[in-house]
Amino acid sequence: MAAKTGYSTSSWERYLGGRSLPPREAVEAMARIAGEDPTRLLALHEVAAEAWTERRGGASGGRAGHVVESVPRPRRSARPWIRTRTAVVVGAVALVLAVSTTVLLAVRLDRDGGEKQAAPSATPSWSMLSPTPSEPSYTCRPRRIDGLWYGGNSRTKEAVLAKGLVGPDVAEAQCLLRRAGYAPGVVDGIYGPLTERAVKQVQRKVGLVVDGIIGPHTWEALRG
C-alpha cells in the first residue's frame, strides 16, 4: 500500500490506528487503489480536519497567552464539556476514517484475489460506505420505553455522528428528529445536509452548542 500511495508504511500505521489524521491526498489515493468513489471519505475527512483544527487552535491560544503573563486570565468557560466534546469528535471521526479505509482495502484485496467466499469480519454500526440495494431499508416506528423514545434502528445514547456518516445510528437519529417535528429528509441512514440542518434546529431549541454534530447531549434531547 505504501508503494501504491507514496506514503510510508509508518504513516499508514498512524492513519489506520487513528493516531494521526491523513492528508486529503492520502485519502484520495486510498480510494483510488480500492477502486471506490472518494466523495464520502473526503466528506468525513473534512469533518475530522475541522475538529482537528479547532483542537489545535485551542492549544495554540494557550501558548500565545504566555507572552502577556501579566494580563489576568479570563474566567474559565462554564461548559468544560465542550472541549471534551471536541476531543471525542476528533477521535471518533479519525476512527471512522480508519475503519472505512480498512474496509475499502479489504474489498480491494478480495477483488484482486478472486475470492468467492467472504471472510468473516465485524461489521461497524456506521461507516462511510454507500448503501447497496441488498441492504435492508430502515424502519421508523417511534415507541416510548421507560420514558425514552426509540425508533427501532439503534438504542445508542452516546454515538458521535456527523455529516457524511452512514448506518443504523444515523437512521435512528433521523427517525427521532421526524418524531419531534423536524425534517431530516428520508430515513435512509445517511447523514446529509437535511439531517444536519434538523439537528442544528434541535440543538438551538434546547440550548446546546449548535454544531450539527450528534453527541450524548443531543441524544438526550432526542430520546427525552
CA–CA separation, 105 vs 111, rounded Å?
10
Between the alpha carbon of residue 88 and those of residues 28, 71, 162, the distances in Å are 25, 31, 12
CA–CA separation, 148 vs 156, rounded Å?
12
CA–CA separation, 139 vs 199, rounded Å?
19
Report residue 172 as a C-alpha cell. 435512528
Between the alpha carbon of residue 134 and those of residues 57, 89, 111, 114, the distances in Å are 43, 30, 19, 21
Considering the chain, tell me which residue range(s) the CATH 1.10.101.10 domain(s) occupy.
143-223
- Report helix, strand or coil for 184: coil
Superfamily, domain 143-223: PGBD-like superfamily/PGBD (1.10.101.10)
Please say whether the beta carbons of 184 and 198 come within 8 A. yes
pTM equals 0.47
Report residue 17 as a C-alpha cell. 490506528
- The tens-digit pLDDT sequence of the chain (224 residues) is 666 667 777 777 776 766 677 788 877 777 777 666 777 677 777 777 777 676 666 555 544 444 444 445 555 544 555 555 555 455 555 555 555 555 555 545 555 554 444 444 444 444 444 444 445 589 999 999 999 999 999 999 999 999 999 999 999 999 999 999 999 999 999 999 999 999 999 999 999 999 999 999 999 999 99
What letter represents residue 61's amino acid? G
- As beta bridge partners, residue 148 has 145
CA–CA separation, 38 vs 100, rounded Å?
11
CA–CA separation, 34 vs 13, rounded Å?
17
Please say whether the beta carbons of 155 and 125 come within 8 A. no
